[in-house]
Amino acid sequence: MRVLRTPAELSEWTEAARREGRRVGLVPTMGFLHRGHLSLMEACRGRADLTAVSIFVNPTQFGPNEDLARYPRDLEGDLKKCRETGVDVVFAPESGAMYPAGHRTFVEVANAKYEGGYYSEEFLDPAANATVKLTPEWAFALRHDDFAGSPTKYTF
């Protein structure tokens, strides 16, 4: 399992896989992995040729009264879980790699649906901004606060 730190490294890995005719699936996370995340990795492995997991505590997903610094982190434990689940690549960037100084491009997701309802734009827009930089063919995500692990597949 490789650990990549910059969007350029991940893009290079993804493009090499595509040149070989392989499909890349992504499981975007903010780390501190639980059973729900592991179920997404398993679902991704069953549908894609290669599985990438991002571990990125995205500062844009925190509101003004939420404490980014207190969000739980366990990168070594997360890497161990990814390795045990058969993940091919973990993308674990620092915030500056994802949002460099002067960054001004943002994605807005309108009317995003999952089975049973709609996502909140406050949750989905920041997640989408991080995910689209990673250029997956598919992303597997949990509905917000779904720790049981009901995977939802998004196609890009």
| pLDDT value of position 2 | 98
- 53 within a domain of the structure (yes/no): yes
- 95 within a domain of the structure (yes/no): yes
What is the pTM for the complete model shown? 0.77
- 19 within a domain of the structure (yes/no): yes
- 23 within a domain of the structure (yes/no): yes
- 141 within a domain of the structure (yes/no): yes
Which residue in the list 34, 37, 103, 144 is annotated as catalytic? Answer: 37
| pLDDT value of position 66 | 81
Residues of the chain with pLDDT below 50 are 115-119, 143-156
- 79 within a domain of the structure (yes/no): yes
| pLDDT value of position 82 | 98
CATH of the domain at 60: 3.40.50.620
Which H, E and C letters describe the chain, residue by residue? CEEECCHHHHHHHHHHHHHCCCCEEEEEECCCCCHHHHHHHHHHHHHCCEEEEEECCCHHHCCCCCCHHHCCCCHHHHHHHHHHHCCCEEECCCHHHHCCCCCCCCCCCCCCEECCEECCHHHHHHHHHHHHCCCCCEEEECCCCCCCCCCEEEEC
Number of domains in the chain: 1
| pLDDT value of position 38 | 94
| pLDDT value of position 140 | 62
37 in active site: yes
Domain range for 46 = 2-99+116-146
